[in-house]
Every structure is written in C-alpha cells, then in structure tokens.
Structure 1
Amino acid sequence: MGVYWEKFKYFLTDLSQEDILRWLDEYNDLGPFPGILLPMLEAFLPILPLVLFVAGNAAAYGFFWGVLFSWIGTVFGSVFVFLLVRRYAQQRFMRFLTKHNKTKSMLSWVERKGFGLLFVLYCFPFTPSALINVVSGLSKVNTLTFVLAVSLGKLVMVFFISYIGHDFFSIIREPVKMIVISVVIVILWLFGKLLERKLHKPVNTKISE
C-alpha cells in the first residue's frame, strides 16, 4: 500500500513533462487514448497538472493532434462532471446551498452572465475549472450554453499551453507569441459574444411573444 501511495504522491507533486512523454511512449499502442485520458482525469482531480498534460501531448503527438486530443479530453471531462452534478447533486444540495447568501449570489452571477462569463473563465490555464464545472452544474445554466462555452474556452486554453509549451516565460522572451495568443483570444472572444447573442435571441423572442 505504501508503494502505491508514494507513486500516487509523486504523480501529483513531482511529475515532469519527461515523465508524461515516457508514459505516452510506453502506451503508444493505445493510440490517442492516453493523450485524451490524462486531460480528462484533471476534471475529476483538479490537483493534477493539466498544463503538463497538454504540453506533453503537444510534444508527443505534434501540435495539431496534441491540441485535438487535449481539447477532447478536457472538454469531455468537464461536460461529464457538469452532467453528473446536474443529474445527481443539483436537486439534493440546492436547498442547502441556497441558504447561504454567498452561494446564492455566485450561482445567480453565473446564471446571469451565462456563456460570456464561462467562456472567458475557461480560456485561462490556471482558472479552477473543476470548481466552475460544479458551480455550473448546480446553477440553472442551459446545458447547450455550458457545452459551447467550455468547448470554445478550452480550445483557447489548450492552444495557449500547446503553443508556448510548459515555459510560460517564453511569451516574454518572444513577444510574437504574445501577439499571436492575443489575436486568437480576441477573435474567439468576439465569436463567443456573437454566439452568446444568438443563444439568447430565441429566449428574447419567446418573451416578446
């Protein structure tokens, strides 16, 4: 038992990109499955190093496939957690949670801002996305709205990490990277705002009728 605990502790605290690359190489017979599984697990265990998983995928599979596998894994993991909370925890804990003013205001804030807020939060690598998944599941945010927000936001985040690798200071040494990342974020943010308006348009139409 002690040996397994030590391995698990190492996996949580001392894991390096070289370890991930070696692990992906050992299980390369499984194809993209390991590259999808690692980012997916982070949705359930937020202490896991998502940045290393994404950077490792980009190094192991190449930029395009690394981005794709990381994106699929992290989106599926987030949506799965959201659906689990929505299905099994929302009704059970809603009465308890809504008794606390801070919790009520947080849920209300997420519900009011909807797509735009979730999209922006998921764009950044160090946002506690596991918490956002749970809060979104407990809120009344539409499932389609959540899926679209997490899909586009995680795309920005995965692209960001894969593009600069695990060395975040490279964007300081190479200003071109900062420019490219900023352009991508602005374009997807504008696209997100346009999509948000379209998502809310049917609701407004029904209200006006």
Structure 2
Amino acid sequence: MGKWNVHHLSDILDSWGIMGHLAGALLAYVQTLVPFVPFVVVAGANVLLFGLWLGFLVNYVMSVLGAITAFWFARTYGRTWVEKKLGKYPQLAKFNERLKRNGFLYIAIARVIPVLPSFAINLGAAVTKVKGRDFFLGTVVGKLPMIFLESLIGHDLLYFHHNKGRLLLLLLVFIILMLIGNRYKRKWFGSDS
C-alpha cells in the first residue's frame, strides 16, 4: 500500500465524518488482531485522519486493546493444547519458567525491541506462563515508544519532502532496534536458552 493509497484511505474515512474516524481507530485494533498490512500503514492513515498527536494516541490505545484481546482469546482457547506441545521441548520449557518469573521485563523488551512480530508476542505470551498482569503492563510500557516511532515514520513517509532528515533518523533507529531484536531472539531462543 503506497502513499496514494494511505492518502486515499484517509480521505475516504474522513469523508464519512465521525463514522470514518471510528473506522480508522477500528483499523488499528483489527490490524493488531489480524495483521493484514504493516502497522505503519494503518498508523500513517490514522495520523493523516486525526493529526500526528491524536493519531498516535488512537494508534497506541487501539493497539494495546487489540493486543490484550488477542492475549485473552489465545489464553482462553489455546493454552492447554500449546502447553502439551511445549513439554516436548526442554529449551522452551526453561524459557517458559523465565517468562513466569520475569514476564513484564520480557514482554516490555520484546515490544520495544522487535524480537518477534507483535502478533506473535500476543499469542505466544498467552500460551506461556507469563502472568496476565505482566503481559498487560509490559504491553502498555513497551508499545508506547514503538507505536510512537511507527506513527512518526508513517507521518514522515507521507510528508517526506518536509521531514527527510527526521525520517532518515527514525528509520536508522528502527533498523538498530531490529538488529538488537535479532540478537535478543538468538539469545532467548537459540541453543544457549
């Protein structure tokens, strides 16, 4: 979905008035549950629709609510089956115990530093021993900087000519976070887990 499509989507939603604004917010929620496009696309459309700061707030709140919904649904309906499967893998069982003791830290770090896609964090945490409270707090804290970064990137991509320098800096930060995330992924899920 390119720049024109984000503008077009934003224009359509804006033409619907308050219902379009509600639909834009709902897109951020649904995208968290079922990632059908990169979040930065939805974030960009909402930033156009609501403005930078309100768009960021809408993206953040709806993303957190979507993550909590996905966690609850997976924990309610899929946990028992996955726990049986995890028993076959001693490394995962060890990691699961770490999640039980330090769930907030792992969730917050995984949200700030993209160790796994957000969708995978939601579902993976739900079927492990991480406490619901740790998931919630880790999500609230960890999503804040990442959603802000994605909202700014979405905004600056749309207004590239005005924000080239900041966009390049934001993309550099994002790439660095991805590299750090890959290192954590190897550390947490590699052979030394």
Check whether TM > 0.5.
yes
Q: Are the counterparts in 1 of residues 56 and 151 from structure 2 also a CA contact under 8 Å?
A: yes
Deviation at 1:19, TM superposition (A): 3.3
Cα distance in 2 for residues equivalent to 1:125 and 1:58: 22
Aligned to 2:178: none
Deviation at 1:106, TM superposition (A): 4.2
Which of the numbers 166, 173, 176 marks the counterpart of 1:174? 166
Q: Are the counterparts in 1 of residues 30 and 66 from structure 2 also a CA contact under 8 Å?
A: yes
Q: Are the counterparts in 2 of residues 24 and 34 from structure 1 also a CA contact under 8 Å?
A: yes
Instruction: Tell me the alpha carbon deviations over residues 109-152 of structure 1, each in whole angstroms, 9 at most, x when there is no partner.
Output: 43343212211221257840100111110111111111111112
Amino acid at match of 2:74: V
Aligned to 2:144: 155
| 1:66 equivalenced with 2:55 (yes/no) | yes
- Mark the runs of 5 or more structure 2 residues left unpaired by the alignment: 175-193
Cα distance in 2 for residues equivalent to 1:174 and 1:148: 30
Deviation at 1:33, TM superposition (A): 1.8
Amino acid at match of 1:46: P
Q: Which has the higher contact order (CA 8 A, sep 6+)?
A: 2
Aligned to 1:53: 42
Aligned to 1:94: 83
Moved more, 104-113 or 143-152: 104-113
Q: Are the counterparts in 2 of residues 43 and 78 from structure 1 also a CA contact under 8 Å?
A: yes
Instruction: Tell me the alpha carbon deviations over residues 176-201 of structure 1, each in whole angstroms, 9 at most, x when there is no partner.
Output: 965xx89xxxxxxxxxxxxxxxxxxx
Amino acid at match of 1:78: A
Moved more, 127-136 or 115-124: 115-124
Q: Are the counterparts in 1 of residues 14 and 20 from structure 2 also a CA contact under 8 Å?
A: no
Larger Rg: 1
| 1:115 equivalenced with 2:104 (yes/no) | yes
Deviation at 1:74, TM superposition (A): 0.7
Q: How many residues align?
A: 168
Residues 93 and 28 of structure 1: CA distance in aligned 2, closer, same or farther (over 3 Å)? same
Residues 166 and 102 of structure 1: CA distance in aligned 2, closer, same or farther (over 3 Å)? farther
Aligned to 1:6: none
Aligned pairs for 1:187-206 (under 5 A) are none
- Mark the runs of 5 or more structure 1 residues left unpaired by the alignment: 1-12, 183-209
Residues 175 and 36 of structure 1: CA distance in aligned 2, closer, same or farther (over 3 Å)? closer
Cα distance in 2 for residues equivalent to 1:107 and 1:130: 18
Deviation at 1:14, TM superposition (A): 6.5
Aligned to 1:4: none
Cα distance in 2 for residues equivalent to 1:175 and 1:27: 30
Q: Sequence identity of aligned pairs in percent?
A: 23
Q: Are the counterparts in 1 of residues 13 and 21 from structure 2 also a CA contact under 8 Å?
A: no
What secondary structure does 1:48 align onto? coil
State the TM-score, normalized to the length of structure 1.
Answer: 0.67
